[in-house]
């Protein structure tokens, strides 16, 4: 279980709109990233959700690319 600083449980799966807010990018960009595989997502019924670990992995990958440049 993932917990926030205040001790409350955080969701393990995020809606694309929520992920966009967390990443500071637009919803359309999140869908583009999911479509290309740059941001992992899972299917839940008829919807797509982004695992919290996928968000952390995506940011880590961006940092690695920045450090390598």
The full set of domain ranges for the chain reads 11-68
Higher pLDDT, 3 or 56: 56
Burial of 45 (0-12, 13-18, 19+ CB in 10 A): exposed
The sheet carrying 47-51 orders its strands as 13-14, 47-51, 42-44
Query: Is residue 62 very low, low, confident or very high in pLDDT (cuts 50, 70, 90)?
Result: very high
Q: What is the mean pLDDT of residues 17-33?
A: 98
Q: Global pTM?
A: 0.84
Q: Which two tokens stand for residue 60?
A: 């880590």
Mean pLDDT of the chain: 93
Q: Any idea which fold 11-68 has?
A: Multidrug-efflux Transporter Regulator; Chain: A; Domain 2 (1.10.1660)
């Amino acid at each position: 279980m993932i917990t926030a600083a205040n001790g409350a449980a955080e969701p393990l799966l995020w809606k694309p709109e929520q992920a966009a807010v967390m990443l500071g990018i637009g919803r359309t960009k999140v869908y583009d990233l999911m479509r290309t595989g740059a941001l992992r997502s899972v299917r839940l019924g008829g919807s797509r959700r982004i695992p919290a670990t996928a968000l952390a992995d995506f940011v880590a990958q961006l940092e690695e690319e920045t450090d390598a440049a």
